[in-house]
C-alpha cells in the first residue's frame, strides 16, 4: 500500500487472512495466528482508504470524506507511518510531503466537521461569529508574521490560513503560526515542492516534531489512542524461521 495501490493491497490482505483462518479452522496452530488482530485492523484501514478513493471517483469528495472519522484516521496514520518509513530510508523530501499533507488534513477536518466550512469553497455565513469580527482577528494573527492585510476571508483555505482561522475560532487544535510558517518555508524550498534543494535532516526533524504534536493533539480531541493506532498501521516484522512458511507452500 506504500505505492497507493489500496485495492491491490486489500485483495492481498483478504487472501492472507483467509489463508491463516483456513489453517486455523483445520486445527493447525502456528506463529501467524498471533498477527490476525493486527492484520484485521489493517484490512479495515485499507477498506476505508478504498472507500475514500471510490467517493473521490464519484465526485463526493471533501464533505463526505472529511466528516468520516474512520476515513480521516486511516489517511492520517497511513501517511504518518509511510512517512516514517521514507525517513528511515533517508528520503526526507518525500517524507516531508506526507507530513505536510497530514497537517493540512487535520486542519481541513476541523473546519469541515466542527464549523461546516468546506476548505475548498468556504461559506463563512455558517459561523456564529460575524465575518467582520473574524476578519479583524484573522488579520491581527496574520499581522504577526506578514504585513499584508486581507480584505476578505481566504477562499480557498490554505494550510497557514486554515490554522490561523482555527486559532481565531479558539479551537483546541491549533499551532503556533510562526512555527508553522517557518516549516512551510523550508518545505517550499524542497526540490519536490517549489525549490531547488533537498530538505536538510534538521529541518525535516522540525517538521516531524510539529506534525507529531498536531496528530497527538488531534487524537486527544477526537478520542483516538495515538500510539495504538500508530502501531496498528506499521508493517509487520515477520519471523525469519523458514519452517513457519511451509504452511503456505
Domain membership of residue 63 (yes or no) is yes
Measured between alpha carbons, how far is 50 from 71 in angstroms, rounded to an integer?
Answer: 9
Domain membership of residue 164 (yes or no) is yes
Residues 6+ positions from 187 with CB-CB distance below 8 Å: 96, 97, 100, 193, 199, 207
Q: Provide the domain limits for residue 61.
A: 6-248
pLDDT score for 27:
56
E strands present in 72-125: none
pLDDT truncated to tens, each residue of the chain (249 aa)?
Answer: 888 899 999 999 999 888 888 877 655 555 666 778 889 999 999 999 999 998 886 665 678 899 999 999 999 999 999 999 999 999 999 999 999 999 999 999 999 999 999 999 999 998 999 999 999 999 999 998 888 899 999 999 999 999 999 999 999 998 888 999 999 998 899 998 888 999 999 999 999 999 999 999 999 999 999 999 998 888 877 656 555 555 555
Domain membership of residue 40 (yes or no) is yes
Measured between alpha carbons, how far is 44 from 41 in angstroms, rounded to an integer?
Answer: 5
Domain membership of residue 213 (yes or no) is yes
Measured between alpha carbons, how far is 77 from 79 in angstroms, rounded to an integer?
Answer: 5
pLDDT score for 95:
95
The helix (H) or strand (E) run that includes residue 38 is helix 36-57
Nearest-CA neighbor of 165 among 112, 209, 210, 215?
112
Measured between alpha carbons, how far is 83 from 94 in angstroms, rounded to an integer?
Answer: 7
Domain membership of residue 1 (yes or no) is no
Domain membership of residue 228 (yes or no) is yes
pLDDT score for 31:
61
Number of structural domains in the chain = 1
Q: Are 214 and 207 spatial neighbours (Cβ–Cβ below 8 Å)?
A: no
Measured between alpha carbons, how far is 93 from 199 in angstroms, rounded to an integer?
Answer: 6
Amino acid at each position: 500500500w506504500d505505492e497507493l495501490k489500496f485495492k491491490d493491497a486489500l485483495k492481498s490482505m483478504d487472501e492472507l487472512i483467509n489463508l491463516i483462518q483456513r489453517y486455523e479452522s483445520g486445527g493447525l496452530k502456528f506463529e501467524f495466528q498471533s498477527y490476525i488482530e493486527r492484520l484485521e485492523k489493517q484490512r479495515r484501514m485499507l477498506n476505508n482508504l478504498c472507500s475514500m478513493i471510490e467517493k473521490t471517483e464519484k465526485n463526493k469528495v471533501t464533505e463526505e470524506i472529511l466528516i468520516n472519522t474512520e476515513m480521516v484516521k486511516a489517511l492520517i496514520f497511513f501517511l504518518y507511518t509511510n512517512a516514517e518509513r521514507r525517513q528511515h530510508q533517508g528520503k526526507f523530501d518525500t517524507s516531508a510531503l506526507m507530513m505536510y499533507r497530514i497537517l493540512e488534513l487535520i486542519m481541513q477536518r476541523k473546519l469541515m466537521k466542527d464549523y461546516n466550512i468546506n476548505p475548498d469553497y468556504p461559506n463563512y455565513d455558517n459561523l456564529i461569529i460575524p465575518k467582520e469580527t473574524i476578519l479583524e482577528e484573522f488579520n491581527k494573527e496574520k499581522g504577526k508574521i506578514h504585513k499584508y492585510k486581507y480584505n476578505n476571508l481566504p477562499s480557498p483555505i490554505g494550510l497557514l490560513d486554515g490554522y490561523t482561522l482555527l486559532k481565531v475560532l479558539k479551537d483546541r487544535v491549533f499551532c503556533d503560526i510562526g512555527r508553522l510558517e517557518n516549516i512551510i518555508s523550508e518545505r517550499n524550498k524542497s526540490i519536490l515542492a517549489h525549490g531547488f534543494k533537498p530538505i536538510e535532516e534538521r529541518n525535516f526533524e522540525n517538521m516531524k516534531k510539529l506534525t507529531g504534536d498536531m496528530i497527538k493533539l488531534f487524537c486527544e480531541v477526537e478520542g483516538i489512542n495515538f500510539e495504538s493506532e500508530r502501531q496498528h498501521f506499521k508493517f509487520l516484522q515477520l519471523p525469519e524461521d523458514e519452517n513457519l512458511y511451509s504452511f503456505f507452500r
